[in-house]
Amino acid sequence: MTSTQSNRESNRDRLAQLDTFLSNTRSLWQPQPFKQVRPAWCDLYPQLTEALLTLDDEPLQFYSDNPESFLPWLVEQLPELTPLLGWHELPVKQTSAIELPGNRFFDGMGGRKRSQIEAFTCHSGQIEHSVVEWCGGKGHLGRLLGHSWQKPVTTLEWDGALCEAGCVAAEKAGIDQVFHVTDVLQPDLPVALTHQHAVALHACGELHRTLVRHSIEQTAVALDIVPCCYGLGCDDIYQPFTEGLSLQLQKDDMRLAVTETVTAGQREVVQRNKEMAWKLGYIELRKQQTGEAGYRNIKPIRKAWLQQSFREFCQQLAQREELMLTDDADWDRFEQLGWQRQDEVMRLLLLRHSFRRPLELWLVLDMVCALEAAGYQVEYGTFCERQMTPRNIMISARR
Ligand SMILES: C[S@@+](CC[C@H](N)C(=O)[O-])C[C@H]1O[C@@H](n2cnc3c(N)ncnc32)[C@H](O)[C@@H]1O
């Protein structure tokens, strides 16, 4: 058996095992504590539920920020989840020694974006062909790859203003880079991927999946992608590339794979907590006023509503839902109830969030196996720390 074959089988085996594990544990990660006061697993595991609900604020904060540190705690409570530890271990992509240009090259680029494209460039391996950059924004990544490997770059991006800014930056840096204002989801693309090296950094959901499909169909010689926002553009039920999998992921499950806020600032976290608490308070109020017990979706809210009082917040939401709220509602009580629910939701979520990485890995392995089945040699692994971006898995495929 060649090493490529054994790699292929080990990735297929890994995907099959993960598929079984996630299917068998679905009742633990699929229910959303925001929508269900007590998911069914709370009855099955009362001790775990109690231990979670009584966690102090400090460990809660720590475990929420460092999900991997939570795993030993969880496995102690529920030893059958021991395999979770393994599903959080990802290979680290090898680096190439690349001399990166100085600060002037990165003028106008945010610090985090710069670190990401530098890390991408150092981990993608040798580039021997012209590059096609998929959903490239201002083409920062393409510009750096063009500079580092002295290859022409074609950047595809549908926002004309970003393309124009990218053109200016490429000219200034003396890079052979052209931009096409194009919708990459449309069938007729201005370039074919045949004989090209395709790259994509954080092309969301259907955008990166389309690139994988095109690369296979048009036999791109190489592909380096860092996927993100897996749920974007996905059908109600995700259609895997690989046949024979039993897990059926719904849109909400796909979102779970990317709900980490590790790069959020303190203000964003405070705002997110308040939004969650107020929405939960409103849900309880709505239940009381309408007698409806079930969960009804709340559309995204305008952030300005959070600057008002809780009462005005509820009135705005109710108006949008064409619901009449009585004036004498006990606003303080419902706001307090909202905060209490938020407190509980954050604790119960620790369990659901422990499955985020394995779910992401399942989605990544699905693409890895499809590329391998199409004859590529594929490597995947993390290319930077989570603090730089939680979407830190890179897939590299070579013909
Ligand atoms: C998350 S950004 C990533 C940009 C760039 N790769 C980077 O990392 O800086 C996604 C980019 O995809 C572009 N985009 C979204 N949908 C697209 C489509 N259908 N066709 C082409 N570009 C698209 C957006 O305008 C945006 O620039």
In this structure, which residue's CA is closest to atom 13 in ligand 1?
135
pLDDT at residue 256, as a whole number:
82
Cross-strand pairs, 225: 200, 395
Ligand 1 site-directed mutation target among 115, 124, 133, 135, most atoms within 8 Å of CB: 135
Encode pLDDT of 93-138 as tens digits.
Answer: 999 889 999 999 998 888 999 999 999 999 999 999 999 999 999 9
In this structure, which residue's CA is closest to atom 20 in ligand 1?
183
Length of the chain: 399
Indicate whether 29 belongs to any domain: no
Indicate whether 94 belongs to any domain: no
CA of 350 to the centre of ligand 1 (A): 31
CB of 202 within 6 A of ligand 1: the answer is yes
In this structure, which residue's CA is closest to atom 9 in ligand 1?
137
Encode pLDDT of 12-27 as tens digits.
Answer: 999 999 999 999 999 9
Burial class (CB in 10 A: 0-12, 13-18, 19+), 17: middle
Q: Pick the closest to residue 149 from 218, 197, 81 (CA basis).
A: 197
For residue 235, the domain's CATH number is 3.40.50.150
In this structure, which residue's CA is closest to atom 27 in ligand 1?
137
Residuewise pLDDT in 10s, the chain (399 residues): 556 666 767 999 999 999 999 999 999 999 999 999 999 999 999 999 999 999 999 999 999 989 899 999 999 999 999 999 999 999 999 998 899 999 999 988 889 999 999 999 999 999 999 999 999 999 999 999 999 999 999 999 999 999 999 999 999 999 999 999 999 999 889 999 999 999 999 999 999 999 999 999 999 999 999 999 999 998 889 999 999 999 999 988 988 877 766 666 788 888 999 999 999 999 999 999 998 888 888 999 999 999 999 999 999 999 999 998 888 889 999 999 999 999 999 999 999 999 999 999 999 999 999 999 999 999 999 999 988 999 999 999 999
Beta carbons within 10 angstroms of residue 188's beta carbon: 6
CA of 158 to the centre of ligand 1 (A): 7
Ligand 1 site-directed mutation target among 112, 124, 158, most atoms within 8 Å of CB: 158
For residues 317 and 323, what is the distance between their CA atoms, to the nearest angstrom? 9
For residues 394 and 362, what is the distance between their CA atoms, to the nearest angstrom? 14
In this structure, which residue's CA is closest to atom 25 in ligand 1?
159
pLDDT at residue 3, as a whole number:
60
CB of 137 within 6 A of ligand 1: the answer is yes
In this structure, which residue's CA is closest to atom 4 in ligand 1?
137
Ligand 1 atom nearest 133 alpha carbon: 6
Indicate whether 75 belongs to any domain: no
CA of 108 to the centre of ligand 1 (A): 18
Indicate whether 385 belongs to any domain: yes
Indicate whether 371 belongs to any domain: yes
Indicate whether 110 belongs to any domain: yes
Cα 76 vs. chain centroid, distance in angstroms? 28
Indicate whether 375 belongs to any domain: yes
CA of 219 to the centre of ligand 1 (A): 23
pTM score, whole prediction: 0.93
Beta carbons within 10 angstroms of residue 300's beta carbon: 6
Indicate whether 247 belongs to any domain: yes
Tell me how many domains the chain contains.
1
Ligand 1 site-directed mutation target among 140, 157, 228, most atoms within 8 Å of CB: 157
C-alpha distance from residue 239 to each of 190, 227, 244, 257, 396 (Å): 27, 16, 11, 16, 22
C-alpha distance from residue 192 to each of 85, 130, 156, 219 (Å): 42, 11, 12, 9
pLDDT at residue 269, as a whole number:
85
Q: Which residues form the domain of 147?
A: 103-260+356-398
pLDDT at residue 2, as a whole number:
59
CB of 136 within 6 A of ligand 1: the answer is yes
CB of 185 within 6 A of ligand 1: the answer is yes
CB of 157 within 6 A of ligand 1: the answer is yes
